[in-house]
Amino acid sequence: HEELQPWDPDHLRTRFVRALSDMYRTEVPLYGKLVDIVNKVDTTTLQSRGQSLDDLPSRFQLERHGAIRLGTQQEMRMISRLFAIMGMVPVGYYDLKMVGFPLHGTAFRPRTEESLRKNAFRVFTTVLRPDLISSPEVREMATSILSTRQLFSPRLVELIDQAETPASASLTAEDANALIAESLKIFKWHSRSSVPLETYLTLKKEHPMVADIVCFPSAHINHLTPRTLDIDAVQAEMIAQGLPAKDCIEGPPRRKCEILLRQTSFKALEERVSFAGGADHGVDGTHTARFGEVEQRGAAVTRKGRELYDFLLAKAVGRSEKEDKDSDAVLREVFADYPDDWEVLRKEGLVYFRYRVAEDKVPAASSHSKLGASVHMDRLLKEGVVTCEPITYEDFLPFSAAGIFTSNLGGERDGGHERKLQKTEEESKRSRVQLEELLGRKIPSEIDLYDELQNYSVKECQTILGLSEI
C-alpha cells in the first residue's frame, strides 16, 4: 500500500476527474444517463465473458477524456501549468483549421505507462486563433471581450505558483482541496452570458465555435467521455432509450482487432441562457454546446498503419459521397483492406506492441541467454520466451473530432464521414511551432511516444535475456 501525498500528480488528477464528473452529471443530467448506459453495456459484455465490473481495475470506470476551448494564449499557458500539476502534459498537435474551425490545440495527458495505468484521463484543449477570423470587426470584438476575462481565480494562481516552487513542492491537504475547488470554476457552466444577445449572434454567425468560446465567463467543459467495452451496444441503447444520439460512430468500423479510437455522442442540448441586456440581465436566448460522448479504444498504429487508416478513410468518404449508400456499410467494405489479425498487424509493422519476457522465463531465459546471441523476435514469441500485447491508443483523431464538433453545434452536416481535409500541411507546421512557443515546450508527436515505448520494451527484453540483439 503506497502512501498518497496530497500533491501527488496522479492522485490530484483522479480527484479532479471525480469532482468534474460529479459536477457535469449535475449540470447535464442526460450525461448521467449515458454513464448508466455504459455501465449496463459493460456489465452485460463482461457477463458474456464470465467476468464482472469488479474484475476491472477501478480506474476503468473513470472518465477517459473531456474537452475545453480557450480564448487566449494567456489562458492556454496558464492551463498548461495547472494541468502539469495534475500530471498532464501536451501530447500531439491538432490543427482544427484542417476541418474548418479557427482553433488548434493539444491533448494534455499523462505520458508514462505507470501514470496512464493509474488514471488515463486527458483533456483535449484548443485555443481560438483570432487570425483565422475573417472579419476584422468580429476579430476585434472577440479579442477585446476576451481581454478582460478572468478564468483563473487569484487563489488558484497563488496555488499554481506554490505548487511549482521546488522548495514548497508539497501542497498541504488543504491546499490540494482548494486547488480542486478553484479549478472546477474554470470548467463550470454559466447560464449568464457576459455579452448582449446581439454580440452573441454576430460571433455565432462568424463561427458557432467563436461564440461558444467568447461569450461566457468560464471555459465550460463541453463534454466528458467514459470508455466502453462495446460502443455499438451503447449506440443502440442510446437510440432505444430515446437519447438524441448522433447518427454514426466516428473512426474505424467494428473489427476483431480494434485499432485507434471509435467514438459517438448524444447531441448537445439547447440550453437557456440569459444575455446581458440594458439595465437588467433579462434577455433570454439559447446556446448549444454541451454533450456526452463515449469512446472505445483500440491499438496504437505506426506511421505506416496511420497512413493506411487515413487512406482508407478518405476512400470510404469519397465513395459514400458518390454512391448513395449507407456510409457504415461502405466503411466496412473499404476497411476489409486493413489486416484484422494481430500477428499480421505486428509482422507488417502496422500496430505498436509492448513486449515482455514471460514471467516463468525470467531470468533463466532458456538457451539463448548463454550465447549473448542475436535472436529474432518472431522466434522468441513462438517459443513463448517473450509475450506481446498491442499498445492502447491514448490520443485523438482530428477527423473524428470534427464529426463530433459538427454534430454538436447545430451543424447541418451530420452525415458523419463526409468531411474533407483541406491540405494545409505546411501551414500546420508553422502553427504547431506557434503553439509550442506559446507553451514554452516541444509538443511530442503521439506516434513517437508509442514508438519509444515499443523500442524500450524490446530493449528491456534484450537486457533481461542477456541477448546482444533482438
- The option from ligand OOG, Ni ion, none interacting with 449 (CB < 5 to 8 A, set by class) reads none
User: What are the b/e assignments for 7-17, b being 16+ CB within 10 Å?
Assistant: bbbbbbbbbbb
CB of 92 to ligand OOG, least distance (A): 11
199 binds ligand OOG (CB under 6 A): no
Write the binding mask 278 to 297 for ligand OOG: x where contact by CB under 6 A, - elsewhere.
---------------x----
Between CA 34 and CA 225 the distance in angstroms is 10
How many residues bind ligand OOG, per CB under 6 A?
12
122 binds ligand OOG (CB under 6 A): no
C-alpha cell at 413: 452536416
Site for Ni ion in 125-164 (CB under 5 A): none
Interface residue with ligand OOG among 28, 37, 41, 67 (CB under 6 A) is 67
What's the Rg (C-alpha) of the chain?
Answer: 24
CB of 231 to ligand OOG, least distance (A): 13
Minimal CB distance to ligand OOG: which residue?
Answer: 401
Query: What are φ and ψ of residue 220, in 5° steps?
Result: -35, 135
Write the binding mask 227 to 266 for ligand OOG: x where contact by CB under 6 A, - elsewhere.
------------------------------------x---
Interface residue with ligand OOG among 126, 193, 235, 264 (CB under 6 A) is 126
Site for Ni ion in 287-346 (CB under 5 A): 293
Cβ atoms 265, 291 nearer than 8 A = yes
- The option from ligand OOG, Ni ion, none interacting with 406 (CB < 5 to 8 A, set by class) reads none
Between CA 37 and CA 290 the distance in angstroms is 18
For ligand OOG, which stretch binds (CB under 6 A), given 19-27, 270-278, 324-332, 400-408? 400-408
Q: Residue 292 forms beta bridges with which residues?
A: 224, 266
31 binds ligand OOG (CB under 6 A): no
ω into 363 cis (within 30 of 0): yes
CB of 124 to Ni ion, least distance (A): 6
Q: Which is nearer to Ni ion, 109 or 354 (CB)?
A: 109
Complete DSSP assignment for 324-353: -S-HHHHHHHHGGGS---HHHHHHTT-B-E
Query: What are φ and ψ of residue 111, in 5° steps?
Result: -110, -35
Between CA 279 and CA 271 the distance in angstroms is 23
Q: Residue 244 forms beta bridges with which residues?
A: none
Reference 207, options 276, 270, 268, 130; nearest CA is 130
CB of 206 to ligand OOG, least distance (A): 17
- Contact positions toward ligand OOG, by CB under 6 A? 67, 69, 124, 126, 222, 263, 293, 396, 400-401, 404-405
